[in-house]
Amino acid sequence: QSVLTQPPSTSGTPGQRVTISCSGSSSNIENNRVNWYQHFPGTTPKLLIHTDSERPSGVSDRFSASKSGTSASLAISGLQSEDEADYYCAVWDDSLHSVMFGGGTKLTVL
Amino acid sequence: ELRLVESGGDLVQRGGSLRLSCAASGSTFSRSTMSWVRQAPGKGLEWIASLSGRGGDPFYADSVKGRFTISRDNPKNMVYLQMNSLRADDTAVYYCATTNYGQSFDPWGQGTLVTVSS
């Protein structure tokens, strides 16, 4: 059971906007930087968002993220079939002295 | 940006030991914090250890503390993960990754598979 809670799955149709939530606490999300990763099974995970809402160079601007209090969210606009992947939030936890990953959300493009 | 290549994954018996290696190419290795992250079959990503470029105190996840040791050899651009007292639930693909501000992991290696048999 992760200290960061993500929905196990979500879905959307092409062109739609979907959001993935990540719920934590004051020992992690509220006071530390949230990062998001995209992972296609069998491949290397990819950093999608760092420092709460910053996109690394080369990441599509269809991906955005925000944080408020003890929760964070990732938004994907203009959904495409190639966005079908697993998405993870991650953040340092001050109480556990560990980097914690959310359980991951499997995105299906219908 | 560093390029990372892991090696050393293998089939090992429960209670056994294994050392994973991660070779880094790039001039910034000695200044980079390096981490290991794993993914067990059918499970999510799990951070397990980090070590700063200056070789300060390492950080470990509770699940591996006392059994795994992260180390590095800066002149050789290598980072290692010594795994002892292996258990079935250590079976996973192990990735090394460069750790940046805010504990973000980028880039990642391609991963190496460790299978612990019972």
Average pLDDT on A79-108 reads 97
pLDDT tens, position by position, B25-70: 988 898 999 999 999 999 999 999 999 988 688 999 999 999 999 9
Answer yes or no: do A45 and B108 touch at CB < 8 A.
yes
Q: How far apart are CA B68 and CA B70, in angstroms?
A: 7
Answer yes or no: do A97 and B59 touch at CB < 8 A.
yes
Side chain identity, residue A53: S
Of B44, B102, B111, the CB nearest to A44: B111
CA distances from A12 to A3, A48, A80, A84, B51 (A): 26, 19, 9, 10, 39
Q: Select from A44, A54, A88, A107 the residue whose CB has the most chain B CBs within 10 Å, as the one to mutate to test that interface.
A: A44
Please report the pLDDT score of residue B28 as a whole number. Answer: 87
Answer yes or no: do A33 and B61 touch at CB < 8 A.
no
Of B47, B62, B107, the CB nearest to A99: B47
Please report the pLDDT score of residue A1 as a whole number. Answer: 66
Q: Which residue of B has its CA nearest to A105?
A: B44
User: Across-strand partners of B12?
Assistant: B116
* Å between A41 CA and nearest CA of chain B: 10
pLDDT tens, position by position, B59-114: 999 999 999 999 999 999 999 999 999 999 999 999 999 998 889 999 999 999 99
Please report the pLDDT score of residue A2 as a whole number. Answer: 80
